[in-house]
Structure 1
Amino acid sequence: MSQQQASTPVSPLRRRMLDDMAMRGLHEDTQCNYIKSVRNFAAFLGRSPETATSEDVRRFQIHQADSGVQAPTIKNTVSGLRFLFNVTLDRPDLSRRLVLARYAQKLPSVLNVEEVGRLLEAARGPKYRAALGVVYGAGLRVSEVVGLRACLTTVDL
């Protein structure tokens, strides 16, 4: 935690959660994210999260969805609140109420036959055309292409 945060008064609940996270060796960034999640939940409730009910958890998640909070942020919030409920408060009943948001599935863009033909024709020479054809045909990633080495051997016939 930063120097400024360490000098401000800390609630007993936050202190207990910080101790629990430190005991488990959670990274400082993770600790900050978890504390932020609990702070947002407490601000939504208008009271300590210790007094939360399953209906409060449900309303908070509906509020997040209605506010346009993105799936990765909801996932981080769920992780922080699960830690709070399972470890710090020993209230797994509330943790089970948390729902993860689904990520929108992104499909990769694929070149059509004409685009592949134009790509191969744009190569400077037969050597580059052959290399592009192999790379495309094998479905290699850029990082894999960079690692390729030409192995030219002569075969005596």
Structure 2
Amino acid sequence: MPILEPAIQAEVAKLRDWMRNRRYADSTVKTYTEAMALFFRFMGNKEPVAVTNEDLELFNRDFIIRRKYSASYQSQVINALKLYFGTLVQKKLDPEIIKRPKKPMLLPNVLSKEEVKRILEAHDNIKHKAMLSLIYACGLRRSELLALKFADVDARRGLLIIRQSKGRKDRVVPLSEKMVLLLRQYYRENKPEVYLFEGKVKGRKYSDRSLESVLKQALGKVKLNKPVTLHWLRHSYATHLLENGTDLRYIQELLGHKSSKTTEIYTHVSTRSLQQIKSPFDDL
């Protein structure tokens, strides 16, 4: 595919600036502008005013479908083109003509409490132990953990404040006394200056890649033969809360879910009720 011509690059920059001015998340800005640039490269730098619905269908069929991109990526492309053409070009195109694919019903991956304990106790390094423990103890996303500052820990009230997370919302989650003690021990030994967890350079966030490596090392030590990711710890937190009898509405608030439907998926992986069902096989 050809590289973008200056005129199209300027249009991509226009979308980027428009989104940033309206405080879209950096990740969303990046995803949308990359999708837009890819579309115009595929179209050979066709002028935006000349783009038709047929071009959208062609891109969907000969690029997205043929190259077997995911359903979520297809939806991101639709959202990006819909925003650009509808807002900045004000051209009557219908990106929805690229029918949104049905998302597959995938259950979240959940670890048992015993498996979580093995992972969290794998490291002797207090920083590594504290990072993995806090993700599970408070159901954090990776980005939320790395953005935490020490002032966000309210040890006296047993609360953790998560600021401007997904959807630009703050939320508060309970912090157990056990977790507070671990964080105090970590602070005494490491004394972070700005962020709760910092890398080798003081005042800078711990990196995504390094955090992934911390988990990978833990899995190697406990020899857990599962493709565990950091998000599995968040899923496990939610599922274990549900199995302990926590109301689904509270879990929704703790996880920062906008819709209750997102939280309801944990009812499909909770074993609390399933394990009480007696199989007719046992009566044979």
Q: What's the TM-score once normalised by structure 2's chain length?
A: 0.34
Contact persistence 2:32–2:77 (CA under 8 A): yes
Measured in 2, the distance between the counterparts of 1:93 and 1:47 equals 17
> Deviation string for 1:46-79 (max 9, x for gaps)?
1145132111101111121121111011111111
Which protein, 1 or 2, shows the higher relative CO under an 8 Å CA cutoff with sep ≥ 6?
A: 1
State whether residues 74 and 100 of structure 2, in contact with CA within 8 Å, keep that contact through their aligned partners in structure 1. Answer: yes
The 4+ residue runs of structure 1 with deviation greater than 4 A are: none
Offset at residue 147 of structure 1 (A): 6.5
Correspondence 1:59-70 to 2 at 5 A = 59-63=58-62, 64-70=64-70
Distance, in Å, in 1 between the alignment partners of 2:84 and 2:90 is: 8
- Counterpart selection for 2:29 from 10, 28, 31: 31
Which ranges in structure 2 are unaligned for 5 or more consecutive residues?
1-6, 109-237, 247-284
C-alpha displacement of 1:104? 2.4
Question: How many Å apart are 1:97 and its aligned residue?
Answer: 2.6
**1:82-131 CA distances to partner (integer Å, 9 max, x unpaired)?**
111111211232434332111223579xxxxxxxxxxxxxxxxxxxxxxx
Matching residue of 2:44: 46
CA distance in 1 between counterparts of 2:67 and 2:28 reads 24
Alignment of 1:50-129 (within 5 A): 50=48, 51-63=50-62, 64-106=64-106
Q: Which amino acid aligns with 2:34?
A: K
Q: Is the 8 A contact 2:12 2:37 kept in 1?
A: no
Report the residue type matching 2:78 in the other structure.
Answer: V
Number of equivalenced pairs: 110
Structure 2 letter corresponding to 1:66? R
Contact 2:52–2:93 (CA<8 Å) still a contact in 1? no
Instruction: Please list every run of 5 or more consecutive structure 1 residues that lacks an aligned counterpart in the other structure.
Output: 1-8, 109-139, 149-157
Contact (CA 8 Å) 2:78, 2:96: kept in 1 or not?
no
Relative to structure 1, the CA distance from residue 22 to residue 49 in structure 2 (aligned partners, 3 Å threshold; closer, same or farther) is farther
The sequence identity of aligned pairs, in percent, is: 17
Q: Which amino acid aligns with 1:144?
A: L
Query: Which residue number corresponds to residue 241 of structure 2?
Result: 143
Residues 92, 143 of structure 1: alpha-carbon distance in 2 compared, 3 angstrom cutoff: farther
Distance in 1, matches of 2:244 and 2:89, equals 51
Aligned to 1:155: none
Residue 43 of structure 1 and its aligned partner are, at CA, apart by 1.6
Q: Normalized against structure 1, the TM-score is what?
A: 0.59
Alignment partners' CA distance in 2, 1:91 and 1:57: 13
Matches of 2:71 and 2:9, distance apart in 1? 29
